[in-house]
Amino acid sequence: MNSKVKHIPPTLESLTRSTLLCLTAIGVIASITPAFLIALVPLSVAFYFIQKYFRVASKHEARFKQRMLELTDTNNTAYLFLSAANRWLEVRTLTNYLNWVVRNLADLEVQMAAVEKVNTFLGTGSENYDGSMDSSQVPENWPQDGEIKIQDLCVRYDSSLKAVLKHVNASIKPGQKVGICGRTGSGKSSLSLAFFNMVDIFEGKIVIDGIDICKLPLQTLRSRLSIILQDPVLFSGSIRFNLDPERKCTDDRLWEALEIAQLKNMVKALPGGLDAVVTEGGENFSVGQRQLFCLARAFVRKSSILIMDEATASIDMATENILQKVVMTAFSDRTVVTIAHRVHTILTADLVIVMKRGNILEYDKPDTLLEQEDGMFASFVRADM
């Protein structure tokens, strides 16, 4: 979203420039060939209605699919229609000014969706950060074991919406490696958000090491768990800040984490080492490197519970193998819950949970589930081969 917002000024500048150039070209043509104005009138009317349709479609996309800021197929169709419609005028002027006007308008519409999202967030009510438990009542080393009990859990994103998780029950023992899979919309990511109390848990509860997470202050809860997302998150600053924002760890600990994530040699070669600059969003590193930095950060935090929400979806197979190897070794004594993007990544898990439409459909060891040839997990594995 930040990248979309920061591109608005140059896009606006480009739109203004291309619009003025286009108007100038039209003026020159009209002065030489006045009959051109007759053809320009119906073309202008057509462009007006097409652009009006595009704006409505773009706003609809921004409102109902907040995670997608790119153009949808419908928007692409409109854009292609716009491009095709201006070919005659483009040939007539021997320029591509109008083409750039259309392109810049399309880009600006999409980028302004990010501004609309920011405005929506500003109007969103604050979460209940305090909880019913005081932070002093929470043991300093909680969660120490990493035992998770999900009891009759029901989750929704808003009180006016339907439940996305419906009476989910599961028990995860300390140190277990658990894989969660299912089709799109099955509730996998909603469950990962529930661990951090980022959705409305209106019925049931999640108990971690004997404490209902809904009773905890949000700062306490979210600072004690670790998560690696599909899109790795790095912050502007230094590598040291990204690994240890609270500056609680020694350099030796940070270098150990980087070595485990196989980033030590790369960081040593950078000017400043641990103090090397990380640009906004970590754009001076590859996606795979960013994901490994997130893995190193999770190791530094020493949390007994690690959530991996489709963490391998955006990385290549080589980086995925590194990540999986680190999880199985450096996190061998920690509870790891993996929301699987590729089913083969959870074949070695201790427990597999298959979800469908907000319910648990299958729940057992992967070998046991594979024996059920007509089961959903077995079908996922066959499709992934």
Q: Where are the domains of the chain?
A: 2-122, 135-384
CA distances from 152 to 4, 166, 205 (A): 40, 8, 7
Residue 79 has pLDDT above 50, yes or no: no
Q: Name the phi and psi angles at 182, rounded to 5.
A: 160, 165
Instruction: Tell me the CB-side half-sphere exposure of residue 175, using CA atoms within 13 A.
Output: 4
Q: Assign domain 135-384 to its CATH superfamily.
A: P-loop containing nucleotide triphosphate hydrolases (3.40.50.300)
More confident residue, 305 or 99: 305
DSSP character at residue 307: E
Q: What is the CA radius of gyration of the chain?
A: 26
DSSP character at residue 198: -
Indicate the pLDDT class of residue 264, thresholds 50, 70 and 90.
very high
Residue 101 has pLDDT above 60, yes or no: yes
DSSP character at residue 312: T
Summary mean pLDDT of the chain:
82
- The predicted model scores a pTM of 0.69
Indicate the pLDDT class of residue 319, thresholds 50, 70 and 90.
confident
Tokens of 136: 């002093």
More confident residue, 180 or 134: 180
Residue 55 has pLDDT above 70, yes or no: no
pLDDT, tens only, 329-361? 888 889 999 998 778 888 889 999 999 999 999
Contact present, 313 and 247 (Cβ < 8 Å) = no
More confident residue, 24 or 55: 24
Tokens of 199: 């959705």
Length, in residues, of the chain: 385
Q: Name the phi and psi angles at 34, rounded to 5.
A: -60, -30
Residues 228-231: contacts with CB within 8 Å, 24+ apart?
A: 228/291, 228/294, 228/295, 228/298, 228/306, 228/307, 228/308, 228/309, 228/311, 229/294, 229/309, 229/310, 229/311, 230/309, 230/310, 230/311, 230/313, 230/314, 230/341, 231/314
Strand segments, DSSP code E, in the chain are: 148-156, 165-172, 177-182, 200-208, 211-212, 226-228, 237-238, 277-278, 305-309, 335-339, 351-356, 359-364
Return the pLDDT at 96: 66
Tokens of 206: 């999640």
Return the pLDDT at 75: 45
Residue 95 has pLDDT above 90, yes or no: no
